[in-house]
Structure 1
Amino acid sequence: MESLLALHFLPSWPLDLNPLACFGLVLFLAIVLGEIASRLLLPRISAYVATGVLLSFSRDVPQLDTLLPSAHVVFELAFALILFELGQRIDLGWLRRNPWLLATSLTESVLAFVAVGALMLLFDQPPILAVLIAALASSTGPAVILGVCKDSAARGQVTDRLALLSALGSCYSFVVLGVAYAWHHSETSAPLAVAIVHPVYLFLGSILLGGMAAWAVLRLLARIKPGYHNQPLAAVAIIIICVALARTLELSVVISLLFAGILSRSFDRQHRLQPMDFGLLSRLALIVVFIATGALLQPEQFLAAWLPAVGLLAARALAKGLGVFLFARPSGLSLRKASLLSIGLLPMSGAALLWVESTAAIWPELGAQLAAVVLTALLIMELLAPPALQFALTRADETGENT
C-alpha cells in the first residue's frame, strides 16, 4: 500500500483535460460531423457551426469554458486569413470592364440597408441601433461564400459575382459602421470635428494599411521560390502583423485585409507571385472560424429577439434580390442566374461578432441591444444559409465533381 501511495507522479483521476486537449477534441468532433453532413449532401460548414453552438451550451463545464475567451482571438486571425484569400480572388479590372457590377453591388447593399433600417424603426428601435443593425445586415458573409465554394469546388459566373459582391459589401458596411460610431460619439461626448474625422481615418487608414501589407507581400514573396510552402507561410506572418497593427491603430481589420488581398493581386503586373494557395491552413481557418462563430453566439437570446431577427432576414433577402434583378440584364446575367445569385447572397457576415463585441466594450447597453437582434439573425443564417448557397451553386451548374 505504501508503495502505491508513493506513485504521486501519476495524474489524478478523473483526468483534468487542459484547454489544448479540449480544442483538439472540439476540432475532431467538428471534422467528424462535417463528414457526416457531407454524406447527407449538406455543407460541412453547417456542421462546424453546430459544433460551435454545442460548445456555447457548455459554459458551465470549466474545461470547455476556458476555450471561449480565446475564441475571439482565434476567430479574428482565422477570419483575417479568409478575407485576404477572398481579396486575392477579386479582379478590379472586372469592374472597369463591366461597371454594372459596381451598380449591382451598391444597389443591393443600399436597398438592404434601407429596408432593414426602416424595419428596425418600425420595431421601435432607437435610430442609432437601427443604423448599426442595418449596416451589419447589408453585407454578405465572405467566410461562408469562400467556405462553401471551396467545399463544392465551385467556379463560374455566379461564384465569381458572389465573391465580388461579398467583398465590396463588407467594405460599404464597415464604412457606414464607422460613420455611425462617430455619429453616436458626437451625440454623447465627442465634438463634431471628431465625428467627421473618425470615419475618414477609419476608411483611408485601413486602405493604406492594406496597401502596405500588399506591398510587403509582393516585395517579400516575389523573392521566394514558387512552389514551396514558404510563400503562404510568409503571407500568414504578414497577415498576423496586419491584424495586430489594425488593432493597435484602431482601424478596420476587415477593410485592411480585404484590400491587402485585392491590391496584392492588382499590383502584381508581372504575375511573379503565384496565386496564393493556403491549402490545409485555409481549410483549418475555415473550420475554426465557423466553430468560433457558433461558440460565440448565444442561443438563449433567440426567444427574446426572434421576431425582429426573422423580419430582418426577410427584408434583407427581398432587398438584395431586388438589387440583383435591377441590373441583371445590363451586367450580362440571365434572370435564372440572378435568382440563384440572390439566394447566394443570403449569408450574413460573421464579422458582426467583432462589431458587437466592440460596441459592447464602449457602450454596454447599446451592445446588449445590438447583440440580441444581430446575433439571433446570424445564428439562423449560419445554420440555414450554407445549404441554400450550395443549392444555388448546384443549380447554376458551377460545382465540381466532389460536391
Structure 2
Amino acid sequence: MIELTTLRNDMAWPLAILLAWIAGEFAYRWLKLSRISAYALVGFVLAPSQGGLLPASQSPTMLLMANIAFGLILFESGYRINLRWLRSNPWIAAASLTEAILTFASVYFLVLAFDQTETSALLLAALSMATSPATILRVINEQKSSGQVTERVLHLSVLNCVLAVLVFKVIVGLVIFKTSGNLWDASYNGLIVLIVSAALGLMFGVLIPAVLRKTKRLNQDGTLAFTIAVVFIVALTHSLKLSPVLATLTFGLVARHRRIILNASQRGFGALGDLLSVILFVFIAATIEWKQVVAGVGLGLAIIVVRQVAKMAGIGIYAKVSGISWRKGALIGMATMPISAFVILVLEQTRYIGVNLVDQLAPLATAALTLEILGPLFIQRALIWAHEVPENKED
C-alpha cells in the first residue's frame, strides 16, 4: 500500500503533464482552440482541491520549473522588444502608460466599492495592470502570426509587465513595513529587489553576447547559451528572493541590442520550450482552488470587465495618432486580456519570500481561472480578425 502511494505521488505530475499535452493537441486539431486553454483546464481539474491527482503540498521543484519556463518566455519577449520603434513612435509607450493608470485607478476604486481593505485594493489594482507576455507569446508562436497587432500586443504586454512589477514590489514593501516596522525588509522586498534584479539581467545581457563573440559562435545557434543563462538567472533570483520576471526581461532586452541574432530555430526554445510551457500552464491552473473561485466570483468577474474596458479605452484613444485604425486598436485592447501566468507566479514568488497574499486576494482566483481559459481564445480571435495569421499555417 505504501509503495502504491509513493508511486502515485511520484507519477502525479508526469501524468498530469501527459494528459494536458494530449488534451491540448486534441483541442487544437479538432476544435481549433488554443493549446494553452486545454493545459489550464486539465491543471485546474487535477488540482489537489479539485480532482486530487496532484499533491496537496506545494512543490519547490515545480515552482522552480514553472519559473524557468516563465523566464524563457520572458527572455524571448524582452528580446523581441524594439526600443528604436518605441522611440520613433512614442504613442505606443503613451498608450501603455495610459491604460496601466486607467486600469489601476478603475480596479482600485472598484475593490473599495466592494468593501475590501485599502491594502487589498492596492495589490489587486497593481496586479491588474499586467498583461501576461507568457500567454501572448505562446499564442503568437502557435498561430505563427505577424503584423502590427501582433507586435504591438507583445510590446504592450512587456511594458505592462514591467510597470506592474515595479508598482507591486513597492506596495509589497509598504505592506511589510506597515506590518513589521522593519525598514530593511521593506526596502529589500521593494526597490532593492528591483534594482538588483535589473542589474543582474543587464550583466548577463552583456556577458553572454561577449562570450559568444569570443568563442566565435556569434552567427551560430545560441539557443543553448541563452537557455543555460536563463536557467541560472532564474535559479539565482529564486534563491536570493529577487525578481526573475524583471531579470529575464532585462536580459532579453539587452541581448537584443548587443546585436545577437535570434535564429528561427530559437523561437520558443524548441521542444524544451514546448515542454516547459505545458508545465507552466498546468502548474498555474493547479494553484487555483475552487473555494477561492467561488468566494471571489462577484468581485473577480467585475475586475475582468472593468480591467478590459480600461485597457481597451487606454489603447484605443491612441490608435489613430500611433498609425493604426480604430479597429486594430480595439483588437489590440481585446488581446491584452491574459493575466494569469504573471499574477500566479508573482504571488507564488511572494509567498516563497514569506509574504502570503494569495488567501487575501480571493477575487484573483476567479479572474485568473477565467482568463487562463478564455484569454488565449481572445488573443487567437484578435490575431485572426486582424488577418495576421497565415491561412494555411503548418501545425
Query: Could you tell me the TM-score, scaled by structure 1's length?
Result: 0.88
2:317 to 326, 331, 348: 326
Q: Distance in 2 between matches of 1:380 and 1:78?
A: 22
Q: Are 1:383 and 2:384 matched, yes or no?
A: no
1:152-178 CA distance string (max 9 Å, x none): 111110000111011110110011011
Match of 1:315 among 306, 318, 328: 306
SS at 1:347's partner residue? coil
Which region of structure 1 is more displaced relative to structure 2, 82-91 or 272-281?
A: 272-281
Displacement of 1:282 in angstroms is: 1.6
1:266 aligns with 2:257: yes
Unaligned ranges ≥5, structure 2: none
SS at match of 2:341: coil
Q: Which runs of 5+ in 1 are unaligned?
A: 1-10
What is the CA-CA distance between 1:89 and the residue it aligns to?
1.0
Deviation at 1:191, TM superposition (A): 5.5
Residue by residue over 1:77-124, the C-alpha shift from the partner in whole angstroms, topping out at 9 and shown as x without a partner, is: 111111111111111111111111110110111111111111011111
Q: Aligned pair in 2 of structure 1 residues 197, 52: CA closer, same or farther (>3 Å)?
A: closer
Amino acid at match of 1:30: A
The Cα shift of 1:327 comes to 0.9
1:191–1:355 distance in 2 versus 1, CA, 3 Å? same
Match of 1:206 among 197, 203, 208: 197
Separation in 2 of the partners of 1:15 and 1:190?
A: 45
Q: Which amino acid aligns with 1:52?
A: G
Is 2:259 the partner of 1:252? no
Q: Distance in 2 between matches of 1:209 and 1:108?
A: 29
1:111 and 2:102 are equivalent in the alignment: yes
Change beyond 3 A, Cα 1:197–1:356: closer
Whole-angstrom CA distance in 2 between matches of 1:96 and 1:327: 15
CA distance in 2, matches of 1:34, 1:299: 22
In 1, Cα distance between equivalents of 2:359 and 2:74: 27
TM-score, length-normalised on structure 2? Answer: 0.90
Q: Tell me the alpha carbon deviations over residues 2-44 of structure 1, each in whole angstroms, 9 at most, x when there is no partner.
A: xxxxxxxxx9997963655443332221121112111211111
Distance 1:320 1:283 in 2: 29
Give yes or no for the alignment of 1:23 onto 2:13.
yes
In 1, Cα distance between equivalents of 2:208 and 2:332:
32
Q: 1:318 to 1:264 in 2, by over 3 A?
A: same
Q: Secondary structure at the match of 2:152?
A: helix
Is residue 356 of structure 1 aligned with residue 330 of structure 2? no
* 2-structure distance, mates of 1:356, 1:198: 13
Q: Distance in 1 between matches of 2:188 and 2:37?
A: 41
- Residue equivalent to 1:300: 291
Choose 355-364 or 182-191, whichever is displaced more. 355-364
Check the 8 A contact 1:344/1:388 in 2, yes or no. yes
Please give the alpha-carbon distance, in whole angstroms, between the structure 2 residues aligned to 1:252 and 1:199. 10
Residue 194 of structure 1: how far off its partner (Å): 6.8
Does residue 126 (structure 1) correspond to residue 117 (structure 2)? The answer is: yes
Greater CA drift, 98-107 or 250-259: 250-259
Q: Percent identity?
A: 34
Q: Distance in 2 between matches of 1:256 and 1:239?
A: 9
Distance (Å, rounded) in 1 between the aligned partners of 2:261 and 2:148: 26
Show the 5 A alignment for 1:224-263: 225=217, 231-263=222-254
Q: Is 1:87–2:78 an aligned residue pair?
A: yes
Aligned length: 387
Q: Does 1:56 align with 2:19?
A: no
Q: Distance in 2 between matches of 1:309 and 1:37?
A: 27
Match of 2:337 in 1: 346
Letter in 2 for 1:378: A
Matches within 5 A, 1:91-240: 91-190=82-181, 195=186, 199-222=190-213, 223=215, 225=217, 231-240=222-231
Cα separation, 2, equivalents of 1:343 and 1:336: 11
Deviations 1:233-259 (A, max 9, x none): 221111111112223433211011111
> CA separation in 1, counterparts of 2:48 and 2:196?
39
Encode CA deviations 1:317-336: one digit per residue, 9 max, x unaligned. Answer: 00001101111111111101
User: Which residue is 1:33 aligned to?
Assistant: 23
Q: Distance in 2 between matches of 1:67 and 1:37?
A: 30
Structure with larger Rg: 1
Q: CA deviation at 1:226?
A: 6.3
Cα distance between partner residues in 2 of 1:324 and 1:96: 17
Deviation of 1:396 after TM superposition, in Å, equals 0.2
